[in-house]
Structure 1
Amino acid sequence: MTQNLPLQSLQKLMILIPAYNEQEVLPESLPILQKIIQELIDSQQIAPDSGFMIVSDGSSDQTWPLIEQAHEADPRVMGLKFSRNFGHQNALIAGLTVISQQKLADFVISIDADLQDDPQAIKQMVEQYRAGSEIVFGVRNNRDSDSWFKRVTAETFYSLLGKMGVHLIPEHADFRLLGPKAITAFLQYQEENMFIRGIIPLLGFESSRVYYARRKRLAGKSKYPLLKMLSFAWDGITSFSIAPLRLVLSLGVIFALFGLVMLVYTLIVKLRGATEAGWSSLMISIWIVGGFQMMAVGLTGEYIGKIFSEVKHRPRFTIEKKLLK
């Protein structure tokens, strides 16, 4: 077990919480996290001025007023308010950016406001960090709280990305600890279409894993319905791999070879004088090849669209208000 350090040697922890319309869950989750932080402070695992950074991602409910109230009651609770909804990943990036620029903490643990990721695992993460890990991944050891469909699609997603050469930590979402070196390295990645789960393993620092049981939401509804999850998965695939383009190229070669075979077959039948009206086969071929061409153009357009977004260099988020110490 790691020995306690003098208070002046203890490092500051910041809990980073992206929040989008979480008025129902924040009053429940924040006290739980505050209790855990206080226990870590009392046991001299982290510095007494450790705190929280909650990012309101364009929430339209009472999320921001709740953050303001929490800040008035406890100045260690800080907040950022986006001018509109920029997305969960950009909320994490904004929090890390401000924490780094303002030197608000030495290391950061990100966790969703619904606390489906077990907050008690934070203590193990801190232990792993103090033992030398620069990155600590929170990894689910079960998905009992998820529906059958969500479990299957999640497993398919991780398997598919792995086959495409994208290195992900299976069953890891955005519950992780980042040390100062990892934060600095991560913020150097400036792409518009950021897929954080794929980038963090690329940083290459010493890492470890903490396993925990996935829980049900404390309150409220999931902010990632099916269509949004599919969109997120697609962004992950197209941001890290050109395998879909290679697949289209491979299919194109197969269709071309099939066309050559049919050409030879047609010539043979013609020379034998056994030709027949082939309206049905002709129409089927047109629909198949035409559909494939449309898929190929659409897929290529998806990548071109990402390039278009990148070259404009628009800001990934706009902060309307800040609540800092």
Structure 2
Amino acid sequence: MTIETPKRLRIVIPVFNDWESLNILLRELDSVAPALPYRVVVSAVDDGSIQSSEGTLTSIEHLQALDKVEIVRLSTNVGHQRAIACGLCLACDTADMDAVLIMDSDGEDPPQTIPELLAATNGKKDFCVVGARRKRSENFTFRMSYIIYKNVFKAVTGKRIGHGNFSLLSSGYASRLVMLPDLWNNLAAALMRSRLPIQQVFIDRGTRYAGKSKMNFTSLIVHGFSAISVYADTIFVRLLLATLVGAGITVVASTTAILLRLFVPAYATPGWATTVTFSLIIIVLQAFFTSLTSLLSLLNNRVQRLILPIVDYKPYVRTVETIFSRTPSA
């Protein structure tokens, strides 16, 4: 008789100084864990925090259902998205999981919705489920900025992005994702670019547990450009095509100006046609050569060594510290 080994879910959580929120999140995850068909391991990725976690994570003394909690200490601050990449790569390297869940530590990814993500897998061996925002809890300025970001993303890439970091992947799909250089820039965009079949589950954004969000207007712009950069090749091609359209418009405008000057001189102001024509030609040529140079530079980079997250994350991981385990021998 063969005893089936319980499946294991590893939860990757990036943290930067927000230990108070993580403490509450661990308590929430512990209350949700009994309802999950997995043994749950939590990997909190310390993204070079300045504030110490010592004396803050008091909830670990009362954990009942979580299997293990560990803190992955990075050697320096690499940023939110790269901290996620490091945690995801370490999870794949450890090879002790059947699925991995990525979520933020601040409570805005509600632990109570994890069963909904798991239900969306429909019992499949391989899956990629993301939590799409149905209702947000930030202030008006941030919500409007986020709407602008999504619209700009759609305009320059031709793709709609409606999810963030809250995502659930099978171990097989996670192993494929950590091979993509795009993961080093932005998780959500990398998932879209990976061509994995993505299942969306609409959830309401939770309320922050404690403190203030570190995602300000500037951070949102950087985050937005990081996501957009994943589609750099698509963007440069679209810019090149737009430049060619502009060149066509310039030819039409120039031809019209010349015809007006030749056949309707009464309506032609001396010198204006030449000025307008040459100005348009110069603008179009500058745009064309800028787009072409950028595209060729991008294509040339394909023969250079790219970031490979599953290999290049290792120097950033300083230590892995187990702060709680129900099975000391594990």
Please say if 1:276 is aligned against 2:270: yes
CA apart distance, 1:199: 2.9
1:122: which partner in 2? 114
> Secondary structure of the equivalent of 2:35?
helix
- Residue identity in the other structure for 2:35: L
Conservation of the 8 A alpha-carbon contact between 2:70 and 2:321:
yes
- Residue identity in the other structure for 1:83: S
Q: Following the alignment from structure 1 to structure 2, what is the Cα–Cα distance between the partners of residues 234 and 205?
A: 22
Q: Following the alignment from structure 2 to structure 1, what is the Cα–Cα distance between the partners of residues 321 and 165?
A: 23
Q: Following the alignment from structure 1 to structure 2, what is the Cα–Cα distance between the partners of residues 14 and 32?
A: 15
Conservation of the 8 A alpha-carbon contact between 2:81 and 2:184:
no
Percent of aligned pairs with the same amino acid: 19
1:176: which partner in 2? 167
Conservation of the 8 A alpha-carbon contact between 1:14 and 1:105:
yes
Instruction: List runs of 5+ in structure 1 lacking aligned partners.
Output: 1-5
Q: Following the alignment from structure 1 to structure 2, what is the Cα–Cα distance between the partners of residues 304 and 221?
A: 40
Q: Following the alignment from structure 1 to structure 2, what is the Cα–Cα distance between the partners of residues 124 and 192?
A: 25
Conservation of the 8 A alpha-carbon contact between 2:106 and 2:209:
yes
2:91: which partner in 1? 99
Q: 1:24 aligns with which of 20, 23, 27?
A: 20
- Residue identity in the other structure for 2:43: M
Aligned pair in 2 of structure 1 residues 160, 82: CA closer, same or farther (>3 Å)?
same
CA apart distance, 1:53: 0.2
Please say if 1:112 is aligned against 2:104: yes
Aligned residues: 310
Please say if 1:89 is aligned against 2:87: no
Q: Following the alignment from structure 1 to structure 2, what is the Cα–Cα distance between the partners of residues 87 and 309?
A: 25
Q: Following the alignment from structure 1 to structure 2, what is the Cα–Cα distance between the partners of residues 239 and 115?
A: 27
CA apart distance, 1:270: 7.4
CA apart distance, 1:178: 0.9
CA apart distance, 1:104: 3.1
Aligned pair in 2 of structure 1 residues 292, 265: CA closer, same or farther (>3 Å)?
closer
Q: 1:139 aligns with which of 132, 137, 141?
A: 132
CA apart distance, 1:322: 1.4
Give the root-mean-square deviation of aligned CA atoms: 4.0
> Secondary structure of the equivalent of 1:211?
strand
CA apart distance, 1:276: 3.4
Aligned pair in 2 of structure 1 residues 295, 282: CA closer, same or farther (>3 Å)?
same
1:136-192, Cα deviation, whole Å (9 max, x unpaired): 22222212x12333333433443444455555552x211111112111221221347
1:114-136, Cα deviation, whole Å (9 max, x unpaired): 01111101122234446226222
Q: 2:206 aligns with which of 202, 206, 215?
A: 215
2:49: which partner in 1? 59
CA apart distance, 1:52: 0.4
Instruction: List runs of 5+ in structure 2 lacking aligned partners.
Output: 323-329
Q: 1:231 aligns with which of 209, 212, 222?
A: 222
Aligned pairs for 1:130-209 (under 5 A) are 131-132=123-124, 134-143=127-136, 145-162=137-154, 167-168=159-160, 170=162, 172-191=163-182, 193-201=184-192, 203=194, 208-209=199-200
> Secondary structure of the equivalent of 1:311?
coil
Aligned pair in 2 of structure 1 residues 118, 305: CA closer, same or farther (>3 Å)?
same
1:249: which partner in 2? 240
1:3-48, Cα deviation, whole Å (9 max, x unpaired): xxx98442011111111121332222222122222x236xxx223x
> Secondary structure of the equivalent of 2:181?
coil
Conservation of the 8 A alpha-carbon contact between 2:177 and 2:183:
no
Conservation of the 8 A alpha-carbon contact between 1:19 and 1:54:
yes
Aligned pair in 2 of structure 1 residues 8, 84: CA closer, same or farther (>3 Å)?
same
1:3: which partner in 2? none
Conservation of the 8 A alpha-carbon contact between 1:140 and 1:211:
yes
Tell me whether 76-85 or 222-231 shows the greater mean CA deviation. 222-231
CA apart distance, 1:256: 3.5
- Residue identity in the other structure for 2:118: V
Q: Following the alignment from structure 2 to structure 1, what is the Cα–Cα distance between the partners of residues 141 and 77?
A: 27
CA apart distance, 1:103: 2.4
Aligned pair in 2 of structure 1 residues 289, 257: CA closer, same or farther (>3 Å)?
same
CA apart distance, 1:54: 0.3
> Secondary structure of the equivalent of 2:130?
strand
2:321: which partner in 1? 323
Conservation of the 8 A alpha-carbon contact between 1:71 and 1:323:
no
> Secondary structure of the equivalent of 1:120?
helix
CA apart distance, 1:310: 9.0
Tell me whether 26-35 or 250-259 shows the greater mean CA deviation. 250-259
